Every structure is written in C-alpha cells, then in structure tokens.
Amino acid sequence: MTSSYIPAPAGDSDGYDPAAIESKWRERWQTRGTNKVDIAGGERPFYALMMFPYPSAEGLHVGNLFAFTGNDIYGRFQRQQGHTVFEPLGYDAFGIHSENYALKVGEHPMRLIPKNIANFRRQLERAGLMVDWSKSLDTTAPDYYKWTQWVFLQLYQRGLAYKKKAAVNWCPSCKTVLANEQVIAGACERCGTLVEQRLLEQWFFRISDYAGRLLDNLDTLDWSDTTRTAQRNWIGRSEGARVVFRVTSGEEITVFTTRPDTIFGATYLVLAPEHPLVDALTTDAQRADVSAYRDRATKQDLVSRKSTREKSGVLTGARAINPATGDEIPIWIADYVLMEYGTGAIMAVPGHDERDFDFATVFGLPIVRVVAAPDEGVDTLLAAAFTEDAGGHLVNSRQFDGLAVAEAKQAVTTWLAGQGAATAVTNYRLHDWCISRQRYWGPPIPVIYCDACGPQPVPERDLPVVLPDIPDFRPDDSGVSPLARHAEWFHVACPACGGAGRRETDVSDTFLDSAWYFLRYPSVGDDRVPFDSSITKKWLPVNSYIGGNEHAVLHLLYSRFITMVLHDMGHLAFEEPFTRFRAHGLIIREGAKMSKSKGNVVNPDAFIDQWGADAFRTYLMFLGPYEEGGDFRDAGISGVRRFLERLWLAAELASTDGEPDPAVLRKLHQTIAKVSHDIPRLSYNTAIAAMMEYMNVLRKGERTPHRSEVEPVVQLVAAFAPHIAEELWERFGHEASVFDSGWPAFDAELARDESVQLAVQVNGKLRGTLTVAREIPQEEALALALAEPGIAKHLTGPTRKVIFVPGRLLNLVV
C-alpha cells in the first residue's frame, strides 16, 4: 500500500501556497455547495449564530473577523460532530451611522449601502467562513423591513406600543434624538455638541411590563455570567413600598422607598420638578421661586442634570403629614429626584440616605436617627448618613424600636398598609423602549393618522411601507422627520375611512431591526410570513450565539423581549431566543483599542495577502483567550504560519511504510482529547498550542511521519484553517469534504502514559522528580524518593506526615 499522494519531484517541490489553495477551495465550496444548508431536511440541526455586522464604508474590521472566526470554528466543529450546521450572516445596515456617513460623503444611502455590502461580502468570503450566503439578509431591504413593520404591528395590537410625550436628549448638530447611552458627559457621542432637552411625541414599547420575566428567566440561560449580571443590573429590580403622604391641603403624594423602616426619620418630602402635582401644591408665596427653578431644570440637558452632585431645590410651601409620626413636614422640589424613576417623589430620610443628608445639610433641615448600629445609642450623633442595614436596629420609632432593619421593613410596611397608607411593591429601573427616530434611514413606522379615526395601524396587506428614495434626506431642526417633507408619500388614505390621512414620519430604532433577525435567517426567501413555523420549530431557539459584550444589555434584552411577546401571541413556541450566549473579547493592538485616530487599525486584506486566510484566522484565535480578546502584534503571525507550513510538509512527506510510532500516537491521542475538550469551551488558543506541541513531536529531528500520524491532525486543524485542511484531505485521497469526515476517534488506551514524572517535595518545596510507573503505590514511591541523595539530604528530621497524590506528587513533612 502506498500513499495516494505522490510527492512532487525534488527541485520542483510544490510548497504551501495559501493564495492558490484558498482561491481553489473558495470556488470548490461554491460549486459543490459545501456550505449550503439543507434547511428542511438537514439532520441534527445546529444554529450557530453570530451578531451581524454594520457594513461600514471602511470595510471589515479585524474585530469583526475575530468574532466571526471564533463562531465559524465552533460551527465547523459542530458539523464535524455530525450536526447540520446553519451559520448565516447578514447586514445591519440601517441607522444613523450610515445616514451620517452618507451625508458626509454626499451619496445617498440607497446607493452607498449596496456598495459597502458588496465590499464586506468580498472580504468575508476571503476569510473562509462556512456561511450559507443563500440565506443572507439585509435589514434595509424592503422584503426584510416589511416584517420589521409587521413586528411593530404585533406589539401595537397587543397594546405594547404606545405614544407619549417624553423629554429626550436632542443633539442640535445631528438633529436627532439620542439615547442616554449616546450622550457622553452632556455631549453627543458622535459630534461632541452639547445636548439639549426636548419634549417630543414618541413611540414606546412597554418592555417594563416584562421586567420581571426578563429578570427571572436569566437564571435558566447558559450565558456568560458577565452578560447576565449586566442585564440584571440594567433591569434593576428593587423591593420596597409605595407610601401615601396626605398633604394638609387635601392632595395625596405617593412616594416609592426601599427603606420603609426609616419612615419615622422622614423629615421632608421631595418631588421631581416635573411632578404633575407641583402646580397644585405650590403656595402663592413660593410660586415665583418654584417656576424659576422648574424653568432652570427643564432647560438643562438630561445628562448634565443627572451628573451634577451639588444639591439644589426650593420649597413649595405645602406641608404633608408623615403617616408614621403624625408630624407635619415640608414639601420641596429638587432636581435630584427623577421623574422617570419610582413615582417621581420621595420621602427624605436624611439620617439614612446620603443624598437626603447632603440636601438637609445644605438647607438646614432636621436630621433624625432612626437606625443604630449595635454600639450606637439613640442619640449618637450622625456625622454622615448611616446607610448600612446589616446589624442595625430601629430607634426613635416607637413600637418598632429594637427591631432589626430587615424585619422592620416588613413590619412597618404591614403596619402602614393596615392604615391604607402603604403597599409593598417591586420597582424596576428598566424603562420603556423609545423606538422613534426623527430621521430618514430606517423603516417607516407603519401608522397612519386620520383626523376622523385617530391613529390607525397600516393593514398587514399594505406592508411594507416603503421608504421613499428621496434626494433630500437631511434632518432639520424642526424635530420632524425628513419624510414629512415628501408630500406624495406623506399624504395617504386612511385605512379605516378612506379619508385624508397622514403617515407617521418617524422611522424605527435599528435595535428593532436586530431584535428579530435571527428568526428570519432560516426562512429567508419566504415572502408569505416573517418566519415559517415548521422551519422555526426545527431551527430555533438558537443553539449558540456569539457576539460582543457591547451588546450585552440593549440588543440582547430587546431580542429577548420581542421573542417573549411573539411567544405570548402564539407565534413562537419558546420565549428565550438564545439558549447559549458567549461574549467574545476585544482585539487591541499595542495595548490600545484599534481606532482610525490612533492609526493602529489592521487591514485584514493586507494580512491575508501576505500570510493567507488560514494563518490569519489561526493567529487571531491564538492571540489569547477568545472570551477575553488579545493583543494583535504583527510579528506573532509568523509562528502560526510556520505551524501550517510544517503541517503541509508533514503531509507531503507522510509515508505508509512501517508502523506509526507508539510515542507519537500517544501524543496524537492526547492532542485529540485536548482539542475536543477546548473547542466547546472556546479555548481556541490552548487548542492551537496543543496542535503545535504535537507538530513538534511529529517532526522531531526531521523524522518522516507515518500517514496515520498526520491524517487526524488535518481533521483537528480543519475548523481553524479550513482551506489547507481541505487541500491536504484531498491529497490524502478523500473525495468528500473534510468537514463531512467526522472527528478523529479518541483512544484512551493509546493516550495513556505508562510512566509519569512524580514531583517530590519536602515541606512543600520541590526537591526532585522521579520518573515512575503511572500506578506506583505510595510505599514504592517513598522508597525511591528516600534512595535519591538529592532528596534525602533535605530530610533533616523524622518524617511527620506523607502526602501522596497518585501519579503527581509526593510531599514529605519533617
């Protein structure tokens, strides 16, 4: 028997030529349909999803490739485990990024985006991803956003979409609403202009109705802990009570507090300046001060208002009764109380809340101690707010004196509830999702306004509401979307009465585009429904989702929310879209985040030209732990390239004469075990290191490897370096793709070392190592150790204790 691969004659050696084999296999995969997925019939479906990119004009970023390659390896590995793997990729191409860039370069986004996408596609194909391009999608295509609009209508029908006037961050330069996270230190994250506050009518989704479920379900998900923690913090559940304070003039003020136990120390109330009761409560004497203060507060942008720590406020002149003490206390307004959290009103307990303490100090308000630590008395002076609750007990609280804080929270709430003054409630920090954008480049929100019928949803049969191709899409300062200027689009018949109607001119947030795209991929091409029910049943929920932690909160939370709503409406059988999620790390270069301004951006095309896609992929995965990212240093890639060259050479030289070396086989099986263990954990760097180690053994002293020592490594390396693996696999005489060849069999017998290095310690310090049989008993190991002069000389006294870890270590305590 001879190898089916006949080496080229010496002098005309056909060495490793990545450019040639990579383009060969790109074509071969295409013609053979290697990456095409049998959506309807494929067995053991496995959905390996990665977060889709925004196709920027600069082209693919190394960070994108790092992320995609990590997912691709996982997907290819699952395919080699016998799954039908679906690894789709599409484009998240709507949004303010594209629109601003289009304005900057003076080209219409409808022309610009297809160019960007074509460039992205070219770069992605070079990277050798196992993507089924027939199932790609683009959020800006009408046949996609038709269904984004359908999703909106579902929420609308369910009563989960509503309009309200809301104070929003407004960037006067970008002429748009900004989310809080887009405002950095009071300025627009994009252009640096100081942000103002505006009141606009906006569409919201009632995600806060789902806060409890979104929080509770987190416990059941196989997700990165950091991501789950981030979501928990974002949802921000807190247990407390709503307490009603009666105003002496008759009104009632409801406050939210997490410390009902401290109510005996509530010496004043504070309302947010925007609180609806302020007008009614304010006395004539205070009216001028109050309205001046409110004017000042509303002019300030939301972020700098929140970041100012100095306390300010004014008296309303009204007084309320503390339901616990019966005392009259003053009512203030102050901007440290936020209208959007809780009830927009608080009971101030300066003795036990830092902010209230600061405020009371500034305005000379009474500070009463109602909680004391074990070593403190009723009258121990409060130099600062005492906010610890563990170990504290109540004082100055009448019948509750002496109760521990935790019990008092319950007891006080129950007592107040008995008088109708309180209810125990759970409050969430999560607020409703504003989806309106006063911009052009997004899916129009499918609503028509009619003077006779009011707002009407666009009937499903009329979807999509196509975004018109208009030359002037520049936003202006009116706060109204550019679409309003396009008369023949704007004016439309009312779907209810047929009379004159006007279209909603806001478009929706890009987060809505991406909150359901994973549902669409398997059903791409189906124009009857957004997602086919039997296909969805087969492929979803997503088995593995990989993406950046920058989307840990919003994108993942919104996707979960939309999925949950569609589940509740009977469209989906599951309520959590991503069974497993792992956040990948960030690639940095020379210790700094890659950015154009720092000039340290790596151009993937240039690297692939020079080193080949296989080396580039493998190097990216070798940089560091996938979930932590790594430092991209140009010099490092040579080691990975050398590894592939050595693999190539080993395959070229492999012979079928004689028998494989048992020592090499042992290392091979140890390597199979290591790689099989590491890939599912995304521990790609150590899997590569293990294969490199094996290559060192295989080629030790320029030995000629046996074919059976090389062939399995081709399968192991395939997920990392797919082109070279296919080429070598073919040269070994296989007709089918290496990705349909399965996974090398692991033999524990062959992998077992018969002798091991036993560490010998004296008092925990290493004093020597013994090469011994693996199963050596303690007595024999001890005897061998004592016979070793280098060890014996450290035994300065009688042995008091012997610790023996079989096969690993012997520790003698003297």
Q: Restricting to residues 271-300, which ones interact with RNA according to CB under 7 A?
A: 272
Question: What's the closest the beta carbon of residue 254 comes to RNA, in angstroms?
Answer: 11
Out of 198, 355, 538, 580, which residue is the one contacting RNA (CB under 7 A)?
355
**CB of 35 or CB of 549, closer to RNA:** 549
State how far the Cα of 77 lies from the Cα of 624, in Å rounded to an integer: 19
State how far the Cα of 347 lies from the Cα of 331, in Å rounded to an integer: 9
State how far the Cα of 796 lies from the Cα of 793, in Å rounded to an integer: 7
State how far the Cα of 376 lies from the Cα of 379, in Å rounded to an integer: 8
Q: Hey, what are 365's tokens?
A: 């308000």
Q: Restricting to residues 218-257, which ones interact with RNA according to CB under 7 A?
A: 225-226, 229-230, 233, 236, 238, 240, 256-257
CB atoms near residue 743 (< 10 Å): 18
Q: Restricting to residues 700-739, which ones interact with RNA according to CB under 7 A?
A: 700-702
For position 305 contacting RNA by CB under 7 A, the verdict is: yes
For position 686 contacting RNA by CB under 7 A, the verdict is: yes
Contact range with RNA by CB under 7 A, out of 132-140, 196-204, 374-382, 642-650: 642-650
**# binding residues, RNA (CB under 7 A):** 87
**CB of 76 or CB of 305, closer to RNA:** 305
Is the Cβ–Cβ distance between 556 and 227 less than 8 Å? yes
Q: Hey, what are 38's tokens?
A: 């049998």
Question: What's the closest the beta carbon of residue 279 comes to RNA, in angstroms?
Answer: 19
For position 646 contacting RNA by CB under 7 A, the verdict is: yes
For position 338 contacting RNA by CB under 7 A, the verdict is: yes
Out of 360, 445, 572, 623, which residue is the one contacting RNA (CB under 7 A)?
623
For position 336 contacting RNA by CB under 7 A, the verdict is: yes
Question: What's the closest the beta carbon of residue 653 comes to RNA, in angstroms?
Answer: 10
CB atoms near residue 513 (< 10 Å): 24
Q: Restricting to residues 160-189, which ones interact with RNA according to CB under 7 A?
A: 180-181
| Radius of gyration (C-alpha) of the chain in whole angstroms | 34
For position 369 contacting RNA by CB under 7 A, the verdict is: no
For position 63 contacting RNA by CB under 7 A, the verdict is: no
Question: What's the closest the beta carbon of residue 300 comes to RNA, in angstroms?
Answer: 10
Question: What's the closest the beta carbon of residue 355 comes to RNA, in angstroms?
Answer: 4
For position 773 contacting RNA by CB under 7 A, the verdict is: no
Q: Restricting to residues 372-431, which ones interact with RNA according to CB under 7 A?
A: 427, 429
Contact range with RNA by CB under 7 A, out of 118-126, 336-344, 489-497, 517-525: 336-344
Out of 186, 761, 776, 781, which residue is the one contacting RNA (CB under 7 A)?
761
Q: In the block, which residue shows the tokens 């504290």?
A: 392
Question: What's the closest the beta carbon of residue 342 comes to RNA, in angstroms?
Answer: 3
Q: Hey, what are 15's tokens?
A: 């060495």
Out of 307, 419, 478, 755, which residue is the one contacting RNA (CB under 7 A)?
307
Question: What's the closest the beta carbon of residue 802 comes to RNA, in angstroms?
Answer: 9
State how far the Cα of 550 lies from the Cα of 585, in Å rounded to an integer: 10
Q: Restricting to residues 67-126, which ones interact with RNA according to CB under 7 A?
A: none
Contact range with RNA by CB under 7 A, out of 36-44, 154-162, 714-722, 765-773: 765-773
Question: What's the closest the beta carbon of residue 357 comes to RNA, in angstroms?
Answer: 11
Q: Restricting to residues 202-221, which ones interact with RNA according to CB under 7 A?
A: none
Out of 553, 772, 773, 795, which residue is the one contacting RNA (CB under 7 A)?
553
CB atoms near residue 111 (< 10 Å): 10
Percent of the chain as helix, strand, coil, to the nearest 5: 40, 20, 40
What is the identity of the amino acid at 812? L
Out of 279, 388, 628, 775, which residue is the one contacting RNA (CB under 7 A)?
628
Q: Hey, what are 278's tokens?
A: 């302020």
Q: In the block, which residue shows the tokens 């748009």?
A: 176
CB atoms near residue 559 (< 10 Å): 23
**CB of 15 or CB of 250, closer to RNA:** 15
Question: What's the closest the beta carbon of residue 141 comes to RNA, in angstroms?
Answer: 30
**DSSP assignment of 262-297:** GGGG--EEEE-TT-TTHHHH--GGGHHHHHHHHHHH
Out of 357, 622, 720, 739, which residue is the one contacting RNA (CB under 7 A)?
622
CA angle centred on 130, ends 70 and 76, rounded to 5°: 60
Q: Restricting to residues 576-615, which ones interact with RNA according to CB under 7 A?
A: 591, 593
For position 799 contacting RNA by CB under 7 A, the verdict is: no
**CB of 155 or CB of 664, closer to RNA:** 664
Question: What's the closest the beta carbon of residue 573 comes to RNA, in angstroms?
Answer: 32
Question: What's the closest the beta carbon of residue 7 comes to RNA, in angstroms?
Answer: 15
For position 341 contacting RNA by CB under 7 A, the verdict is: yes
**DSSP assignment of 346-388:** EEE-TTS-HHHHHHHHHHT------EE-TT--TT---SS----
**CB of 656 or CB of 757, closer to RNA:** 757
CB atoms near residue 487 (< 10 Å): 7
Provide the 8-state DSSP code for 180. Answer: G
User: Which helix (H) or strand (E) is 672 found in, with range?
Assistant: helix 662-678
For position 22 contacting RNA by CB under 7 A, the verdict is: no
Out of 335, 432, 513, 730, which residue is the one contacting RNA (CB under 7 A)?
335
Contact range with RNA by CB under 7 A, out of 84-92, 101-109, 373-381, 683-691: 683-691
**CB of 260 or CB of 501, closer to RNA:** 260
Question: What's the closest the beta carbon of residue 550 comes to RNA, in angstroms?
Answer: 7
Is the Cβ–Cβ distance between 121 and 131 less than 8 Å? no
Is the Cβ–Cβ distance between 192 and 299 less than 8 Å? no
**CB of 409 or CB of 520, closer to RNA:** 409
State how far the Cα of 548 lies from the Cα of 782, in Å rounded to an integer: 52
Query: 728: buried, middle or exposed (CB in 10 Å: 19+, 13-18, 0-12)?
Result: buried
For position 813 contacting RNA by CB under 7 A, the verdict is: yes
Calculated CA dihedral for residues 205, 209, 211, 217, nearest 10 degrees: -100
Question: What's the closest the beta carbon of residue 198 comes to RNA, in angstroms?
Answer: 18
Nearest partner of 524 among 21, 15, 89, 220, judged by Cα: 89
**CB of 81 or CB of 685, closer to RNA:** 685
Out of 763, 774, 779, 799, which residue is the one contacting RNA (CB under 7 A)?
763
Question: What's the closest the beta carbon of residue 49 comes to RNA, in angstroms?
Answer: 22
Question: What's the closest the beta carbon of residue 425 comes to RNA, in angstroms?
Answer: 11
**In the chain, how long is the greatest CA-to-CA distance?**
106
CB atoms near residue 669 (< 10 Å): 20
State how far the Cα of 508 lies from the Cα of 538, in Å rounded to an integer: 30
Residues paired with 404 in a beta bridge: 393
Question: What's the closest the beta carbon of residue 569 comes to RNA, in angstroms?
Answer: 29
Torsion sign across C-alpha atoms 182, 185, 190, 191: positive
Calculated CA dihedral for residues 116, 117, 123, 129, nearest 10 degrees: 160
